[in-house]
A and B are shown apart, each in its own frame.
Chain A
């Protein structure tokens, strides 16, 4: 069991909507506390591999509207990449506005008492397209 999870901190250390990035054997994973619980995603953007959990907090986006209307949506559930600003839902990993089929890789988070763990072997969602090592 211990081999499958990494401690990400204690609950109180988590600022709401701000990722803490932990190194795991599966790569760096961003863990974040939201108003409906913890989420964890691989800290690697499926586009070009940017550290997608670094540089911005969970944020809000816009959805389909008539031209020149801005309707806010996905309040505080949006991971916005620090590079090309692609946006994904933190809970489903899916692209906001369906701009890509690629998704964030998600991991289960377990809270035991005050301790927060991420289960790094239990990735869900499509694999990130970008590998770290060049061929």
Chain B
């Protein structure tokens, strides 16, 4: 270099070596933003007047001071787009900063901005808000790069509207699945069956994700106990709504009823899966209420139909301790990669895949996701 310096005050310098060729990855949990003014502008005038869409804070649904984030910001501080704005708000930047850098063949977009509707009362406001947002994700993200894959966000309050939204968008290129903002909704209740039937008709997997207002709003997904004091305590319990969802879906008989249905539990972790599966089987064997609904042990439905993501990837003191945990959940067919980009607790693709046992890497990076989302991934 002969003392000739290249000073780079810019972004992401430390991650400058692309590894695109080495890995081909499907990321099952990627978080983009769309401009909310644009979403709101597309809503009918009457719905626009709703207080709930009138401010960014209301849309996020977070009671800001409830448990303060210790360092003030839930996003990756190095992923701020060069042109400014929130990390995850600029498709072109995300292509360079994330897709191209890590060789991401498909990134399944989980829209956090859709989640706040769990607390909204007016169904037509929810429906038009989600429809406008869905359109915008297709236009702004999938159109920018077809590797950005779309989840249709549907109302958690109105199964008929959810079915209509699925029917409206299911055949659009780029759509790979649908998501329901998590809340205290009966995922195992018969009210949801028409939604599952529509999804089954189109072959769309359901993806569930922490709501981001978990344990906050009335009707938001609860953590066990009641109210966590600190963000740290809250964050350690992030997986609990996923455990509740898995239990409901399996033990209610919903998965038995819709055998082609696949559900991805994104960002709920995975080290609890094997242990909870044993508990489900125990309860079933003892006639604890699920026995009349399920002709086969709960573990069969769980292993066949539920998928779990790698992030947040466990970090045991002894990495070998993960092996029996991965074995217990049959990770070769239930575990899919996720990054959670650009959130602060993101996992780096090559690091996570390298920490997995060798024989799992290909499966987790891509193959199981391809089996789950099918040809819609276009891979």
> Does A touch B (CB under 8 Å) in the complex?
yes
Could you tell me which A residues sit within 8 Å of B by CB distance? Answer: 2-3, 5-9, 20-25, 27-28, 42-44, 48-56, 80, 82-85, 117, 130, 132-135
Residue B12 CB within 8 A of the other chain: yes
The answer to whether residues A22 and B78 also contact, given A27-B14, A49-B15, A51-B15 and a CB cut-off of 8 A, is no
* A3 CA to B162 CA, complexed, in Å: 64
- Count, A-B residue pairs, CB within 8 A: 107
- Decide: A51 and B13 in contact? CB cutoff 8 A: yes
- Decide: B76 and A55 in contact? CB cutoff 8 A: yes
- Decide: A5 and B13 in contact? CB cutoff 8 A: no
Set A2, A6, A51: member contacting B12, Cβ < 8 A: A51
- Decide: A53 and B354 in contact? CB cutoff 8 A: no
User: Ordered nearest first, which 7 A-B pairs have the shortest CB separation?
Assistant: A55-B77, A51-B14, A82-B77, A43-B14, A7-B5, A134-B350, A82-B78
Interface on chain A toward B: helix, strand, loop, or mixed SS?
Answer: loop
Residues of A within 8 A of B345 (CB): 83-84
Known: A2-B2, A134-B22. 19 other contacts (CB 8 A): A7-B5, A8-B5, A8-B7, A9-B5, A9-B7, A21-B9, A23-B16, A49-B15, A50-B14, A51-B14, A51-B15, A54-B11, A55-B78, A82-B77, A132-B17, A133-B22, A133-B350, A134-B23, A134-B354
Write the chain B residue with the least CB distance to A44.
Answer: B14
Residues of B within 8 A of A84 (CB): 344-345
- Say how far B95's CB is from chain A's closest CB, in angstroms: 18
- Decide: A28 and B14 in contact? CB cutoff 8 A: yes
Residues of B within 8 A of A135 (CB): 354
* A117 CA to B2 CA, complexed, in Å: 12
The answer to whether residues A54 and B14 also contact, given A82-B78, A134-B350 and a CB cut-off of 8 A, is yes
| Interchain Cβ contacts under 8 Å between A and B, 7 examples | A6-B5, A51-B12, A54-B77, A55-B78, A82-B76, A132-B19, A133-B19
Could you tell me which B residues sit within 8 Å of A by CB distance? Answer: 1-17, 19, 22-23, 70-71, 76-80, 344-348, 350-351, 353-354
- Decide: A22 and B348 in contact? CB cutoff 8 A: no
- Say how far A9's CB is from chain B's closest CB, in angstroms: 6
The answer to whether residues A43 and B13 also contact, given A20-B7, A23-B8 and a CB cut-off of 8 A, is yes
Write the chain B residue with the least CB distance to A54.
Answer: B78
- Decide: A50 and B7 in contact? CB cutoff 8 A: no
- Decide: A56 and B9 in contact? CB cutoff 8 A: no
Interface on chain B toward A: helix, strand, loop, or mixed SS?
Answer: loop
* A28 CA to B14 CA, complexed, in Å: 5
Residues of A within 8 A of B354 (CB): 134-135
B2, B15, B346, B354 pick with most chain A CB within 10 angstroms: B15
Residues of B within 8 A of A85 (CB): 70-71, 344
* A27 CA to B8 CA, complexed, in Å: 12
* A22 CA to B8 CA, complexed, in Å: 6
* A93 CA to B9 CA, complexed, in Å: 21
Residues of B within 8 A of A3 (CB): 1-2
- Decide: B1 and A25 in contact? CB cutoff 8 A: yes
Set A7, A55, A83, A130: member contacting B3, Cβ < 8 A: A7
The answer to whether residues A53 and B14 also contact, given A5-B3, A7-B5, A24-B1 and a CB cut-off of 8 A, is yes
Write the chain B residue with the least CB distance to A23.
Answer: B6
B2, B5, B14, B70 pick with most chain A CB within 10 angstroms: B14
Residues of A within 8 A of B4 (CB): 7
A9, A52, A55, A117 pick with most chain B CB within 10 angstroms: A55
- Say how far A58's CB is from chain B's closest CB, in angstroms: 13
- Decide: A54 and B351 in contact? CB cutoff 8 A: no
* A28 CA to B16 CA, complexed, in Å: 9
- Decide: B8 and A28 in contact? CB cutoff 8 A: yes
- Decide: B3 and A6 in contact? CB cutoff 8 A: yes
Set A6, A20, A48: member contacting B347, Cβ < 8 A: A48
* A9 CA to B6 CA, complexed, in Å: 9
- Decide: B7 and A22 in contact? CB cutoff 8 A: yes
- Say how far A130's CB is from chain B's closest CB, in angstroms: 6
Residues of A within 8 A of B3 (CB): 2, 5-7, 117
- Say how far A35's CB is from chain B's closest CB, in angstroms: 21
Residues of A within 8 A of B78 (CB): 50-51, 54-55, 82-83
